[in-house]
Amino acid sequence: MSTINDINSKVEKILELIDWRGTKTQQFFPKQDLEYCRSNQTAENIKLLEQIKPDLIKEASCCSDCKMPPEKLAWFYFSSPAWTWQQFCGREGWVSYCDECDEQIDFFCVMMN
């Protein structure tokens, strides 16, 4: 029988295999969902973003309206609402957002179900 420590160890090993940079996709999300996630960032996500942002910027787009470069856009981790995971259409990943134009620019999908 597995102990909680065994299970936690296995989960940590799985998490180490995830490419936290994600894959750039053409998915756009409702503004209220984006705002919720942006205002509820964890310290872990902020720290991880600092580490991987240079890689994300290499593939990221400029804002199509104002031409703001990726390094000047807002970046945050997004997780779709609970109901999307229950319906097997959940998504998580990094979003770049142009505050000047008030729109999502890119989504780099890290997890989906």
Q: CB-based contacts of 44: which residues, under 8 Å, 6+ apart?
A: none
Q: Which of 18, 17, 24, 94 is nearest to 53 (CA)?
A: 94
For residue 92, count other CB atoms closer than 10 A to its CB: 17
Segments making up each domain of the chain, as ranges: 23-112
The per-residue pLDDT for range 39-58, each reduced to its tens digit, is 999 999 999 999 999 999 99
Helix (H, G, I), strand (E, B) or coil at 18: coil
pTM: 0.80
Beta bridge partners of 94: 77, 108
Mean pLDDT value of segment 27-38: 94
